[in-house]
């Protein structure tokens, strides 16, 4: 059977130009765009598909429109008939060819046959003869059972990056498969030659056998022509980058926000889970330090951090000061002046390391009875202090409490009463206890910088809720060696 090539068929680009602007990952521009194919690859057809005229391709296009240019990657399944193995949501369009008759185009990111072939390319570490595409497997992925077209898939999208995610359950897995049995295939729709630093961190932790991240199981890379660097004639400048990432399904398990909110709505404790979450975060930080090292701040960095902390605290206090009565304002002013002086006197440098510094409850996932894993997307600050993750996690708990309190019905709502302030105090104290009980160096959360950051964030939260505060006033006066459990009386 003669192989057809999508890009050679009349009308192929026209169909794509109609479909692409409606995709959330496509670069938005004004007017009609122009597509120029600059690379791609073709996959062998897996066994088990009923369509005998099935062809699987991935195309890399340069997109030019009125507002500029961009590069996209588009996996395509070319079929001779409609197929449930792809699904209606993946349908791109239909064209007629001289040799193959009608051809139905589907987005390969959702097509079961394409997914099976794609996963096999990584699992078997296959590559092209010209070296312009290759699959790589990590950990024990190469020993997994082969993927077939009978796999099950669930659509998923990223809210922060131009990628398409598909959760795949292998054929042999049970109907109610655990997160460990699933894989997440992430098609990179806007490929570049540079790899995200946060992903490199996860890949390094995967190879170090860390159990605190969603492991990388495979990577598929491909090449494309860089037309800006290519010369005249036959001189072509090729670039190579990641086209897809395959990871375990651990982040498909419930996240910390969902689990904590459920517990809070039912007036149930979350102390043990919070303690385990804190311990897992500490282990995650220790794994990062062990894999990438850490180094002390310089004198200039320490002074700069102290100045920034003072300014942030002063700014937040100025924004909400009028919300307090005279006595409360005086007490808080005293606390802030004390912290400000401690920041000025700080002489002990803290340890900097490669770290994710904006993690929240949404980034924490609980795949089993014990332990948590953290997903880095949207939670990255390079070269930050470990205390930043601890602050953002604790303030994520506080935000959850405020939101839950605002949703609670009146006394006749049928729910058990909740002491929101106590729930938060118990959970935050357990979280800190778990963090300290891990292998991490907890020096940073013993410092005045941690207390200053917590107070600044608490004032910001207070302001965002226009003074509708369900915590004890003393939460805003966190001083002493254990600011989350030993509150100054209001």
User: What are the pLDDT digits (tens) for 111-132?
Assistant: 999 999 999 999 999 998 888 9
And the tokens for 236? Answer: 């072509």
Q: Is residue 483 part of a domain?
A: no
Q: Is residue 465 part of a domain?
A: yes
pLDDT tens for 276-324 read 999 999 999 999 999 988 889 999 999 999 999 999 999 999 999 988 8
Whether 247 and 260 map to the same domain: the answer is no
Q: What one-character DSSP code corresponds to residue 331?
A: H
Whether 248 and 261 map to the same domain: the answer is no
* CATH number of the structural domain spanning residue 418: 3.90.1200.10
**Domain endpoint, select from 217, 252, 287:** 252
Over residues 146-151, mean pLDDT: 94
Q: Is residue 300 part of a domain?
A: yes
DSSP collapsed to 3 states, 165-181: EEEEECCCCCCCCCHHH
Whether 333 and 268 map to the same domain: the answer is yes
Nearest to 447 by CA among 489, 471, 478: 478
Whether 354 and 445 map to the same domain: the answer is yes
Yes or no: say if 71 and 61 are a contact pair by the CB < 8 Å rule: yes
Count of other CB atoms within 10 angstroms of residue 47: 10
Whether 382 and 263 map to the same domain: the answer is yes
Whether 164 and 124 map to the same domain: the answer is yes
pLDDT tens for 420-453 read 988 999 999 999 999 999 999 989 999 999 999 9
Whether 264 and 238 map to the same domain: the answer is no
Yes or no: say if 182 and 202 are a contact pair by the CB < 8 Å rule: no
Task: Give the residue carrying structure tokens 């200053």.
Answer: 452
**Domain endpoint, select from 223, 252, 281:** 252
Yes or no: say if 289 and 441 are a contact pair by the CB < 8 Å rule: yes
And the tokens for 232? Answer: 């005249």
Q: Is residue 80 part of a domain?
A: yes
Q: 185-204 burial, b if ≥16 CB within 10 A, otherwise e?
A: bbbbbebeeeebebbebbbb
And the tokens for 431? Answer: 């979280």
And the tokens for 407? Answer: 């949703």
Those residues with Cβ within 8 angstroms of residue 176's Cβ, 6 or more apart along the chain or in another chain: none
CA–CA separation, 190 vs 129, rounded Å? 25
Q: Is residue 490 part of a domain?
A: no
For residue 127, give the 3-state DSSP assignment.
strand
Whether 223 and 352 map to the same domain: the answer is no
Yes or no: say if 296 and 290 are a contact pair by the CB < 8 Å rule: no
Which residues does residue 74 pair with via DSSP β-bridges, in sequence order? 59
455: left (phi over 0), alpha (psi -120 to 50) or beta: alpha
Q: Is residue 386 part of a domain?
A: yes
**Domain endpoint, select from 252, 282, 317:** 252
For the ranges 76-90, 242-256, 411-425, the lowest mean pLDDT is seen at 411-425
Whether 332 and 394 map to the same domain: the answer is yes
pTM (predicted TM-score): 0.87
Q: 295-324 burial, b if ≥16 CB within 10 A, otherwise e?
A: eebeeeebeebbeebbebbeebbeebeeeb
Whether 140 and 266 map to the same domain: the answer is no
CA–CA separation, 305 vs 346, rounded Å? 10
For 222, how many CA atoms within 13 A lie in the half-sphere containing its CB? Answer: 29
Number of domains, the chain: 2
Q: Domain of 35?
A: 6-252
CA–CA separation, 42 vs 479, rounded Å? 62
For residue 447, give the 3-state DSSP assignment.
coil
What average pLDDT does the chain have? 87
Q: Is residue 486 part of a domain?
A: no
Q: Is residue 85 scored above 60 in pLDDT? A: yes
CA–CA separation, 331 vs 316, rounded Å? 16
Over residues 178-197, mean pLDDT: 91
Whether 54 and 165 map to the same domain: the answer is yes
Q: Is residue 306 part of a domain?
A: yes
Whether 213 and 295 map to the same domain: the answer is no
């Amino acid at each position: 059977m003669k192989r057809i090539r999508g890009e050679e068929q009349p009308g192929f680009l026209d169909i794509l130009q109609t479909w692409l602007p409606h995709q959330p990952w496509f670069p938005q521009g004004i007017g009609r765009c122009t597509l120029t194919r600059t690379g791609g690859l073709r996959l062998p057809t897996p066994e088990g598909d009923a369509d005998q005229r099935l062809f699987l391709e991935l195309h890399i296009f340069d997109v030019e429109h009125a507002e500029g240019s961009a590069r996209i990657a588009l996996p395509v399944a070319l079929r001779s008939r409609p197929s449930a193995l792809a699904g209606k949501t993946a349908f791109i369009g239909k064209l007629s060819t001289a040799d193959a008759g009608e051809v139905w185009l589907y987005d390969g990111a959702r097509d079961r046959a394409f997914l099976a072939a794609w996963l096999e390319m990584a699992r078997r570490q296959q590559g092209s003869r010209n070296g312009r595409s290759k699959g790589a497997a990590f950990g024990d992925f190469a020993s997994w059972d082969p993927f077939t077209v009978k796999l099950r898939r669930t659509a998923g999208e990223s809210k922060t990056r131009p990628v398409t995610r598909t959760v795949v359950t292998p054929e042999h897995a049970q109907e109610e498969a655990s997160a460990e049995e699933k894989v997440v295939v992430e098609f990179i729709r806007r490929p570049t030659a540079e790899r995200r630093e946060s992903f490199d961190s996860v890949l390094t932790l995967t190879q170090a056998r860390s159990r605190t991240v969603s492991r990388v199981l495979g990577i598929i890379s491909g090449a494309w022509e860089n037309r800006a660097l290519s010369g005249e004639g036959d001189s072509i400048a090729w670039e190579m980058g990641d086209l897809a990432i395959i990871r375990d399904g651990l982040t498909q398990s419930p996240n910390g926000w969902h689990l904590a909110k459920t517990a809070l709505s039912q007036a149930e404790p979350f102390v043990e889970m919070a303690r385990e979450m804190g311990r897992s975060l500490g282990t995650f930080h220790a794994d990062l330090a062990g894999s990438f090292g850490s180094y002390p701040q310089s004198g200039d960095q320490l002074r700069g951090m102290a100045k920034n902390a003072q300014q942030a605290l002063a700014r937040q206090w100025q924004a909400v000061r009028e919300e307090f009565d005279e006595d409360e304002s005086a007490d808080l002013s005293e606390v802030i002046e004390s912290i400000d002086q401690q920041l000025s006197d700080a002489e002990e440098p803290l340890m900097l390391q490669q770290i994710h510094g904006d993690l929240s409850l949404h980034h924490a996932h609980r795949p089993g009875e014990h332990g948590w894993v953290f997903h880095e997307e949207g939670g990255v600050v390079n070269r930050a202090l470990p205390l930043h993750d601890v602050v953002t996690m604790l303030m994520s708990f506080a935000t959850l409490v405020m939101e839950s309190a605002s949703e609670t019905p009146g006394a006749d709502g049928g729910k058990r009463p909740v002491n929101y302030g106590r729930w938060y105090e118990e959970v935050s104290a357990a979280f800190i206890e778990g963090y300290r009980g891990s292998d991490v160096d907890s020096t940073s959360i013993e410092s005045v910088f941690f207390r200053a950051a917590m107070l600044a964030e608490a004032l910001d939260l207070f302001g965002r809720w226009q003074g509708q505060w369900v915590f004890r006033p003393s939460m805003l006066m966190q001083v002493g060696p254990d600011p989350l459990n030993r509150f100054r009386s209001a």
